Amino acid sequence: MLLHDDRLLPAEPVTRGIARRLYAGVRDLPIISPHGHTDPRWFAEDKPFPDPATLFVKPDHYIFRMLYSQGIKLEQLGIARKDGGEIEGDPRQIWRLFASNWHLFRGTPTRLWFEHAAFSIFGITERLSAESADRIYDRIAEQLEQDAMRPRALFERFKIEAIATTEGALDPLKWHDMIRESGWGGKVVTAYRPDSVVDPEFEGFRDNLDQFGELTGEDVGSWTGYLEAHRKRRGYFIERGATSSDHGHATARTANLSPAECEKLFAKILKGKFSAEDADVFRGQMLTEMAKMSLDDGLVLQIHPGSYRNHNPHLFEQFGRDMGSDIPRGMDYVSALKPLLDAVGNERGLTVIAFTLDETSYSRELAPLAGHYPALKLGPGWWFLDAPEAMLRFRELTTETAGFYNTVGFNDDTRAYLSIPARHDVARRMDCHYLAKLVAEHRLDEDEAAEVAHDLAYRLAKEAYRL
């Protein structure tokens, strides 16, 4: 049997009993998915998903990272080369390669997510292996053709109450318009991700700016026009349901320059004669500008810092961005966030959500900051930290200083649509695991733990993201 009912709950019987009761209270709650990277086109077109390999293997950087680390080439996994070079074209071959390396995923969240989807969506009850690969492939493939497996049907089956996608500032949001116009009732909203027009080092930044000006009708050659363009564009996103912006900078640095300094820096950026330091300050300034705009338009500001993107230049040259070679770095949030917090940290109407890939900052910096500043909340474990043990550490390292109510529930943050129920289920189980320990050690009463479990599974995300 792939999925045990008690998976991820503590082994100790009394504690497990408590955890079971807590989990029973939250397992069937609707899903609030306030931040992620699913493709709005799926919901707009509602077409069937293709074959199992294209669904599970090729788009999942958790999967191909691990396979690559063990010597398997991305070409063997059917991942497109930028030069159009030859790659594996047969999804069944890709699937077999994946299946015969399934042991690599022991102890990883990929294992939990895949088996949850395979069992609960496709009814698979045997373990993936070289031997079972073809049977499982066929079983999934045949079901993918059914109407019940289309994006919207799954949306309802997954009990998604609301989901946010993430689009660049230049995105026309046509799929979101199409969803709205379709009359379908699923709540799919966008989020404003302006990195391509905020980061001077982004590929094509100057061209992006030109396009940004055209889209908004603002003079993006002036600092005030540029800010106005953001305000307008945020409004455009808000009309398509956006309740948040999102920012994926290399560091958590923020800045709060005077208007005159901003104009001068922006002019320098526009001329293209800026240093790496200038670019970093500019990105930092824009976080503060975005926070100030949030005071007016109510968008929640998300900061996802600390990833060294494309650490492997060979892979980047051959396959492009997001190919699994992003690596976390140590972050200093205490200095980095100070300019922004000085400007708006005491605002009660603002929500800034800080994420981290550096868990050493949980107890030392982020919990003390979120446990003090009214505007600052702490995002859940992200990316390399969205797995069971890491989730437990997140609670152990933050709760004693920041409590539960300076956190914002769970984000799946995924482009792997079928893993969404699995990811929320893992988060709910691990929160119940943690809470059950508190109850078993008489640090919290069970009625309170039940309320907290509900808040973490549903209410906090809904409220923090205003969904």
Binding positions for its own copies, 338-357, rule CB under 8 A: 338, 341-342, 345-346, 348, 357
Binding positions for its own copies, 374-393, rule CB under 8 A: 374, 376, 384-385, 387-390, 393
Is residue 117 at the binding interface for its own copies, with CB under 8 A as the rule? no
Q: At what angle do helices 420-440 and 446-454 cross, to 10 degrees?
A: 160
Q: Are residues 87 and 40 in contact, defined by beta-carbon separation less than 8 angstroms?
A: no
Is residue 273 at the binding interface for its own copies, with CB under 8 A as the rule? no
Q: Quick one: 190 or 356, whose CB is closer to its own copies?
A: 356
Binding positions for its own copies, 390-449, rule CB under 8 A: 390, 393, 395-397, 399-406, 437-438, 440-445, 448
Q: Quick one: 111 or 187, whose CB is closer to its own copies?
A: 111
Burial class (CB in 10 A: 0-12, 13-18, 19+), 148: exposed
- What count of residues does the chain have? 467
Q: What single DSSP character describes residue 75?
A: G
- The count of chain residues that interact with its own copies, using the rule CB under 8 A, is 94
Distance CA 294, CA 301 (A): 7
Q: Return all residues near 294 (Cβ < 8 A) that are at least 6 apart.
A: 245, 300, 301, 350, 351, 352
Answer for which of 112, 209, 265, 460 binds its own copies (CB under 8 A) is 112
Q: Quick one: 67 or 242, whose CB is closer to its own copies?
A: 67
Q: Which stretch binds its own copies (CB under 8 A): 24-32, 118-126, 157-165, 319-327?
A: 319-327
Answer for which of 28, 106, 181, 273 binds its own copies (CB under 8 A) is 106
Smallest separation, CB 229 to its own copies (Å): 31
The CA–CA distances, whole Å, from 214 to 101, 127, 173, 208, 220 equal 49, 53, 16, 10, 9
Is residue 127 at the binding interface for its own copies, with CB under 8 A as the rule? yes
Binding positions for its own copies, 150-179, rule CB under 8 A: none
Q: What are phi and psi of 67, to 5 degrees?
A: -65, -40
Answer for which of 60, 358, 413, 425 binds its own copies (CB under 8 A) is 358
Distance CA 384, CA 234 (A): 30
Smallest separation, CB 9 to its own copies (Å): 7
What is the residue-wise DSSP string for 362-400?
A: IIIIIHHHHTT-TTEEEPPP-GGG-SHHHHHHHHHHHHH
Smallest separation, CB 284 to its own copies (Å): 17
Distance CA 129, CA 144 (A): 21
Binding positions for its own copies, 25-64, rule CB under 8 A: none
